[in-house]
Amino acid sequence: MRRVAKVMLVLATLAALLAARGDAADLKIGDAAPNFRNLIGVDDNRHSLSDYGRAKLVVVVFTCNHCPVAQAYEKRLIALQKKYDAKGVQFVAVNVNKLPDDQLAAMKTRAEQKGFNFPYLFDATQKIGHQYGALVTPHVFLLDRQRKIAYIGAVDDSMQPGDVKNSYLRDAIEAQLAGKKPPQQTTTAFGCGIQYE
């Protein structure tokens, strides 16, 4: 089973490299986070970054339904939102893929089945994915109190929960809540390449 997962991870990484586009944004640590407005959520409401103005930190995660790597991280994202909710951290998942399995109706079903405790938004224009420079699912962007980029990269260092040695996103959140810089501000995100048109 682990061998199959490793093969899938290698294939997903190759797909991500092939999916990289020259017109993707080149966000750096300290840059202002690209704003998003009126993205439809699985709750049928429109969501904007400004909706989360009370949050101390916002974690924008580009993800989708079909990717096995994204699926492997769903429970971890749910657990992180639960752990840090009372500390003022808001997770927001964004899907920009347009494959049949990634359409809004399928997103609604998956969010309900998996018990997502964070907004799950769809951007059919793919604009926000380009603005952030998201290349894979999952691809994480941690926004600080001023909504500047504090961390970019992976959730952690292994698709397999039992093999995780470095919890990059958790460590970045903890550092930011303590008023410090994350120990690692950028890491290499891995997953399935986002299907840009």
**Which residue do the tokens 């907004």 mark?**
119
C-beta atoms surrounding 38 within 10 Å? 10
DSSP line for the chain: -HHHHHHHHHHHHHHHHHH--TTS----TTSBPPP---EEETTS-EE-GGGGTT-SEEEEEE--SS-HHHHHHHHHHHHHHHHHGGGTEEEEEEE---SGGGSHHHHHHHHHHHT--S-EEE-TT-HHHHHHT--EESEEEEE-TTSBEEEEE-SSS-SSGGG----HHHHHHHHHHTTS--S-SB----SEEP---
Q: What is the rounded distance in angstroms from the CA atom of residue 31 to the CA atom of residue 85? A: 25
pLDDT of res. 4: 44
Q: What is the mean pLDDT of each run of 10 residues along the chain (197 residues)?
A: 48 42 68 97 98 97 98 98 98 97 97 98 97 98 98 98 98 98 97 96
CATH 3.40.50.970 fits 2-193, yes or no: no
pLDDT of res. 26: 85
Strands 136-137 and 192-193 come out as antiparallel
Q: Where are the domains of the chain?
A: 2-193
- Indicate the pTM of the whole model: 0.89
Beta-bridge mates of residue 152:
141, 186
